[in-house]
Amino acid sequence: MRKNRKDSAIMKSKNVQLSALKESNAKNTYTKTRRKKQNGFCYKLVKYRVFLLMLLPALLYTLVFSYIPMGGVILAFKKYSYAGGIFNSPWNGLKNFEFFFKSGQALLVTKNTVLYNLLFIAFNTCLQITVAVLLTEVKNKHFKKISQSIMFLPYFISWVIVSVIAFNLLSFDYGVINSIIEKLGGEKINFYTTGTVWPIILTLFGAWKGVGYGSVMYLAAIMGIDTSIYEAASIDGANVFQRIFKITIPLMMPTVVILFLLAVGGIFKGNFDMFYNLVGNNGVLYNYTDVIDTLTFRALISNNDFGMSAAAGLYQSVLCFVTILLVNKLVSIYSKDYTLF
Amino acid sequence: MKLKIKAASYEIKKSSDAKLLSFLAYFINGVIALFCLIPFIMVVSASFSSEEAIKRFGFSLYPREFTLEAYTTVFKEPMVVLRAYGVTIVLTILGTLAGLFLQTMTAYVLSRKEFEWRNKFSFFFYFTTLFSGGLVPSYILMTRYLGLKDSYLALFLPLLFSVYNLLVMKSYIMGLPESLIDAAKIDGCGEFGTMVKVVIPLLKPAMATVGLFIALAYWNDWYNAMLYIGKESMHPLQYFLYKQVNNIEAYKRIIESQQVSSEAASAMSMPTQSLKMALTVVVTGPIILLYPFVQKYFVQGITIGAVKG
C-alpha cells in the first residue's frame, strides 16, 4: 500500500510536471507565433502607424525636392528639348560632358573652386581660432559681449547687402579704399577689372561674414577644457603664452580637425551666393572668379544650355559625394565618435 | 635672500606676459570688431550724404552735406518698398511656423528609441546632404512639373525643410529625459499628443534656435526669387534690393553713354549712389535691430550643431 501510495504520488507529481511541460511548450509555441507576427512588416506598419503618419510630410517633401531631382541627373546624358522634358528628350551620350571638358571650363572652374575653398578654410580656421582664444583672455565682460556681438553682425545680413558694402569699399570713383590710396599718393585700382586681387577680396569678405559664427564653435571647445589643467600648469610655472600653445590649442585640436574635415567635404562646392553677388556677371573676371556653381548657373539661366549645365552639376555632385566618403573614412580613423554615418 | 629676489623677478615676468596677452586680446578683438562695424557705418553715412559730396569726396565715415534726399526718393512710391516688405514678412512668418512644426515633428519621431526604423529613415533624410541632383533637375522640376514659376510657393517650399536643422532639433530632443515621455504615455497620451503637450514646451531654446535659422534663411533669400519669380510685384525684399541696385547702375550707364547735354543730365539726375545706400539701409533695418536679442539663441544652436553637424 505504502509503496503504491508512494508510486501514485510519484506518478502524480510526474503528471503535474508533464502537464507543466506541455503548458510551457504551448506557451513557447504561442510566443513564437506572436514574435513572428511582431516581426512581420505589416504588424509593424500598424504598430508604427502614428510615427509613420507624423513622418509622412517630411518624407514626401524630401522625396519630391531631393530624390526626384536625383533621378533628373540623367539629363546630363540627354539633349534637352522643352517639348520632350526630362524623359522624352533624345539621348546625347557623353556629348554634354565632352563639351564641358573640351571647352577648358571644367579644369578652370574645378581649379578655382578647390583653390578658393582651401584659401577660405585655411584663413577662416586661423582667424576664428585666434578670435576664440583671445576672447577667452578678455576679462571685461562688457567688452567681451559687445565685441562678440559686433563680430556676429555680418552673419545676419544677406550677400546682396554685402555686395553693396563691397561696392562702397571697392568702387573705382568713390570707393573708400581708392580714396585712401589717393590720399596716400598712390594710384587708384579698378578692382572690378583686376582679376588678381579677387582671391584676397573674396577671402576677406568671407572671413568678415563668418568670423562671429565660426568662432563660437571654437569658444565652446575652449569652454570644455578642464580648468584644473590650467591651475596645475600655472603652479608648474607656465606663462600665459605657454598656457595657450601647450594646453588650449592642443586640447582644441579634435574640434579643429573635425571642422576642418567637414569643410574639406564641401571643397567642390562654391558659395554661389557669395561669388555671384560680389563678382556679379563680370566676364572680365571669369578666369579668376568662376567656380562650378556660377558656371552651372550661367549655363542654365543666361545661355539656356540645359545639357552642359546638368553635366557640370552631375560632375560636381559626384566629386562632392566621393570627397565626403573619403573624409568620413578619415574622420573614422581619427575618432569613431565623429563619423557622419 | 637670493631666492626671494628670484621669486619677485619671476612674478614681474609673469605679470608682464599676462599684460601683453591681455593687451593683445583687447587690441586684436577690438580691431576685428571695428572692421566688422565700420562698413555698416559707411553705408548709413553715405545714405545721408548728398550725391555731390559722394562724387567729390567719395564714401566716408560720417555724412558730408547731410540730406534726406535719398530716403525721400526711396519712399516716393512707398507701396513698392512696402510690398516687398510685406512679401518677405509674410513668407518669413509662415515659413518659420510651418518649418518649425515640420522639423520638430520629424525630429521627434526620429528620436524615439521605440521606433525601430528610425535609423533607416534618418539615413533617408541624411543621404540628401551627400548627393543632390543639382541645379538643373531642381529647376526643371519646379518650373515644368510642379508649375511653380511666378508662384509664392516657389519662394516658400525650397527653404521649408533642412536636414541640418533636423539634426540640431533631434539632438535637442535626445537630450530630454526619456522618463518624461514614458510618463506621458502611461497617462494615456498618444505620440502626437505627447509631442505637442510634453515635448514642445520643453524645447523652447531649441525652437528659438531652429526658428531663427529658418527665419533668417527666409528673410535673406533672394536666390529663389531670381530663379522663379519674374513679376516685380512678387519680389521679396532682398531680391528687390538686388534688382534696384542693378537698375540704378544700368540707368547711370545709359545717362553717361548718351552724352546728353549737361542741363538735361541734371534734370534727369537722381541720387544714384546715396539712393543705393538708402535702399540698403531700408532693407537691412529690422534684422540689425533684432539681432542683439536673438544672437544668444544662435550661439546655443551653433554649439549644439557643432557637436554633431
Question: Cα distance from A30 to chain B (closest Cα, Å)?
Answer: 23
From chain B, the residues in CB contact with A147 under 8 A are 29-30, 32-33
**Per residue, what are the HEC states of chain B?**
CHHHHHHHHHHHHHHHHHHHHHHHHHHHHHHHHHHHHHHHHHHHHHHHECHHHHHHHCCCCCCCCECCHHHHHHCCCHHHHHHHHHHHHHHHHHHHHHHHHHHHHHHHHHHCCCCCCHHHHHHHHHHHHHCCCCHHHHHHHHHHHCCCCCCCHHHHHHHCCCHHHHHHHHHHHHCCCHHHHHHHHHCCCCHHHHHHHHHHHHCHHHHHHHHHHHHHHHHCCCHHHHHHCCCHHHCCHHHHHHHHHHHHHHHHHHHHHHCCCHHHHHHHCCCHHHHHHHHHHHHHHHHHHHHHHHHHHHHHHHHHHHHCC
**Contact yes or no for A161 and B284 at CB 8 A:** yes
Contact assignment for A211 to B36 by CB distance below 8 Å: yes
B-contacting residues in A 178-197 (Cβ below 8 Å): 178-179
Q: Would you state the pLDDT for residue B1?
A: 46
**A 6-25 → B contacts, CB under 8 A:** none
Chain mean position to CA B231: 24
Whether residues B17 and A66 touch (CB distance < 8 A) is answered with: no
Contact list in A for residue B227 (CB cut-off 8 A) is: 301
Q: Are A150 and B37 in contact (CB < 8 Å)? A: yes
What does the pLDDT read at residue B52?
A: 85
Quick: pLDDT tens for A126-154.
999 999 999 999 989 999 999 999 999 99
Which of B115, B123, B222 lies closest to A48 in CB terms?
A: B115
Contact A219, A136 (CB under 8 A): yes
Q: What parts of chain A have a pLDDT lower than 50?
A: 1, 3
- How many CA atoms within 13 Å lie on the side-chain side of A175? 18
CB nearest to B36's CB, from A208, A217, A321? A208
Disruptive mutation site among B11, B22, B29 for chain A (greatest number of A CBs within 10 Å): B29
CB nearest to A341's CB, from B126, B136, B161: B126
For B141, which of A72, A309, A316 is closest by C-beta distance? A72
Chain A residue numbers with beta carbons less than 8 Å from the beta carbon of B308 are 338
| Interface touch A54/B109, C-beta < 8 Å | yes
Q: Kindly list the structural domains of chain B, giving each domain's residue range(s) and its CATH number in brackets, ordered by start.
A: 71-307 (1.10.3720.10)
Q: Give 10-residue mean pLDDT values along chain B (309 residues).
A: 50 71 94 95 92 84 88 89 94 96 95 91 93 92 93 96 92 88 86 89 89 93 95 94 88 71 57 88 85 81 60
Task: Calculate how close chain B gets to A14, using CA atoms only, in Å.
Answer: 43
Residues of chain A contacting B280 with CB distance shorter than 8 Å:
161, 164-165
The answer to whether the CB atoms of A153 and B43 lie below 8 A apart is no
Mind telling me how many Å the CA of A336 is from chain B's nearest CA? Answer: 12
Q: Do A320 and B138 touch (CB under 8 A)?
A: no
Considering only alpha carbons, which residue of chain B is nearest residue A242? Answer: B17
Alpha helices in chain A (DSSP H): 2-39, 41-47, 49-62, 68-71, 85-88, 95-102, 105-137, 141-152, 159-170, 176-183, 198-223, 227-235, 240-242, 249-265, 272-279, 286-289, 292-301, 306-334
Q: Of A149, A211, A240, which is closest to B295 when you measure between CB atoms?
A: A149
**Selected residue of A136, A152, A155, A157 to mutate for chain B interface (largest B Cβ count, 10 A):** A157
- pLDDT for A1 equals 44
For A:96-155, CB contacts with B below 8 A are 127, 130-131, 134-135, 137-140, 143, 146-147, 149-155
Q: How many CB contacts within 8 angstroms connect chain A with chain B?
A: 278
Coil, helix or strand at residue A304: coil
Mutate to test the interface with B, among A43, A48, A51 (most CBs of B within 10 A): A51
Q: Given CB atoms, is A255 within the 8 Å cutoff of chain B?
A: yes
CB contact under 8 A, B306 and A154: no
Contact check, Cβ <8 Å, A169/B39 = yes
Q: What is the pLDDT of residue A9?
A: 53
